[in-house]
Amino acid sequence: MPEVVFPLDNTKKFTEQQIVGHNRWHPDVPAQVQVKPGDAFRVECREWFDGAIHNDDSAEDVLNAPLPSVHVLSGPLEVQGAQPGDLLMVDILDVGPVPQEDSGPLAGQGWGYTGIFAKQNGGGFLTDQFPDAYKVIWDFRGGVATSRHIPGVSFTGIVHPGLMGTAPSAELLAKWNAREQELIDTDPERVPPLALPPLPDSAVLGNLSGDEFDRVAREAARTAPPRENGGNQDIKNFTKGTRVFYPVFVDGAKLSMGDLHFSQGDGEITFCGAIEMGGFIDLGVDLIKGGMETYGVSENAIFMPGNTPPQYSEWLAFSGTSVTLEGKQHYLDAQLSYQRACLHAIDYLTKFGYSPEQAYMILGAAPIEGRLSGVVDIPNSCSTVYIPTAIFDFDVRPGKTGPHQIEPGQGVPKASF
C-alpha cells in the first residue's frame, strides 16, 4: 500500500481530523501536504456530506441535506516544482470504499446512498417531475451493489472520484465569481438557483484562521460545478487506470479530491445521483513543464479513461428529442433531449412494477451510458440513454408475453417540505 499522506479517522468529523481539508476553491487555502513528481501515495476521503446521510429508511436527512458544507475535500496537496503553465499528470492507481471496514455508520463502510434533492434544496435533472426528496441505500458485496429499496437490480461498481482539481489563480477565481453572479442576476429568486455564489457559512479552509479565514471565506468559490480547474466533473469513467492532465494555475498546483462514487450513470441525473461513499484513492503524480502551452490545454483537464469498467455488452436504449412535455419545440437543446430520453426510460421501467422514483434512482446510480446522438438536424437534438440489460434479475427487453412484474418491496423513502 502506498504511503498515506492524507489520513482520516472515521470516528471524527471532517473538521476534527489531524489534517483538515477544505470545501471551497481559493488559491490561498494552504497546502498542508507535499508530494514530489514521481511519487505514489494514498489519500483518504470522506463522503461529500461528512456523515450527514444515514443508513436507514428515511429521506429526512436528504430533505435537509447541508448543501453549504459540501464538498469536503482532501487536500490541497502541493506538488513540488509545479508552476503556472505546467500540466499536472495524475494517475489513478486504485480507488475504493473504506478499506477493511465492511460495516459502520459512514457511507463507504460497506454501503452507500443515492439521493434526490427536494426542489427547494438543490433539485436535480428532473426536478419538475420529482420535486420531493428521496433516498436509496445500496449495500456493497464483492464489488456489486444491491438495494433493499430497489429489488431485482444488481451491478458491478464503476468506482471513481466525482471531484478532483487544482486550485484557481486569483484572476481565475475572480472570473468565476463575476460570470456566475451575472447569471444569478438574470433570475435571482429562481428555485433552485442558477448558480451558487461565495458563501462564508459552513466554509472549511484547512488551517486558516482569523482575518485571513474571513477574507478567503468571502471570496472562495463553491465546489458544486465543474470549472476550468477540473472540479466536480462527475465522470463515471474516471476509474482505476485513468491518467488525467490538469492545468496548473498556482505554484505547487494545490491538488484536491473527494466525492468518491461506488457507481454512477452518465450525467449523475439525480444530482446526488451516484452511489456516494467515503474511501481511499491511490495516486501518482508527475509534471509536464510548460505543458499548457505545448499542448494547448489552457483550461479544462484532458484524460485517458481507465480500462476497468464493468463489462456489459447488451443494452436497451431510449431516445429523446428537444421537445418539451407540453409539445413546445426547442432548437437543438441537448439537455432537454437527454431529459426526455431519461423520462422515456423511466416510463418504460414502471411497466415492470417499479415506481417512477425507483426507476429514476436506477438511472442515477447504475452504469448507464448517455450519448449525444444527433446535434445537427435542426430543430431537434437527439440524445440517447443506454441501460445495460444484465443489471436486472429478469428479462427487461420487450417481448410478446408482456413485461415481467416485479414486487417493488418497501419502495424508496420520501420526504417533503
Q: pLDDT, tens digit, for every residue of 324-349?
A: 999 999 999 999 999 999 999 999 99
> What is the pLDDT confidence band of residue 309, given thresholds at 50, 70 and 90?
low
Which ranges of 220-326 would DSSP assign to H, the alpha helix?
291-295
**pLDDT tens digits, residue range 241-250?**
999 999 999 9
How far, in Å, CA of 368 to CA of 349, rounded? 14
Please name the amino acid found at residue 127. Answer: T
Q: What percent of the chain has a predicted confidence (pLDDT) above 70?
A: 100
Task: Judge whether residue 8 has pLDDT over 80.
Answer: yes
Residue 357: the pLDDT is 97
| Pure H helices in 142-269 | 170-184, 210-219
pLDDT at 311 over 90: no
pLDDT at res. 1: 84
* pLDDT score recorded for residue 22: 98
What average pLDDT score do residues 69-93 get? 98
Segment 374-393 shows an average pLDDT of: 97
Does the predicted model carry a pTM greater than 0.75? yes
pLDDT of res. 269:
93
Report pLDDT for 140: 97
Mean pLDDT of the chain: 96
d(CA 126, CA 12) in angstroms, rounded, equals 35
Arithmetic mean of pLDDT, 116-143: 95
Which pLDDT score, from 0 to 100, does residue 310 have?
Answer: 73
Strand order across the 382-388 sheet:
315-321, 382-388, 369-374
Give, in degrees to the nearest 5, the angle at Cα 148 between 145 and 154.
30
Q: How many CA atoms lie within 13 A of 415 on its CB side?
A: 19
